[in-house]
Amino acid sequence: MENNELNIIKHEGTIVFAEKNNIKVKVLSLSSCANCHAKGYCTSNDSKEKIIDIEVSKNSYKEGDKVMLTLSKKLGFFALFLAYILPLILMISSMLLLSIFDISEIYVGLISLLVLLPYYSIVYLFKDKLKDKFLFKIDLL
């Protein structure tokens, strides 16, 4: 395995929609135990289908094509940071800051949750810029 292979995330998928410059790829997201030989007997079967929307410059793909999507691991970690880590930091910071003042715990909890509304609103407003940043490379299998 090349050093470059260690820095990318790969997902195999199937094209479910293909139009001019837009395709949608269905990817099966598996947890580590979803590949286990005992998954039929276990209650922890955790696999989800996800649809990924990809803009392409020229569309030579058709519905049903098997493809490999690749993304830089750095971008994967950045997405993880934006979606989970930064909101958690904001919530914990607001809880600690509000706890300094003599505010009821229920209000501290509610305000800490409400901090996420403007955060995710801002992320939503910048979705087009983020979409441009998270570019998947797509290859036919």
Task: For 111-140, write each residue's pLDDT tens digit.
Answer: 999 999 999 999 999 988 888 787 788 888
Tell me the C-alpha distance between 141 and 130, whole Å.
27
Task: For 4-14, write each residue's pLDDT tens digit.
Answer: 666 788 889 99
Tell me the C-alpha distance between 137 and 139, whole Å.
7
pLDDT class for 70, splitting at 50, 70, 90?
confident
For residue 34, pLDDT beyond 70: no
pLDDT class for 1, splitting at 50, 70, 90?
very low
- Residue 115 in contact with residue 90, Cβ under 8 Å? yes
pTM of the model: 0.66
Apex CA 11: angle with CA 8 and CA 12, to 5°? 140
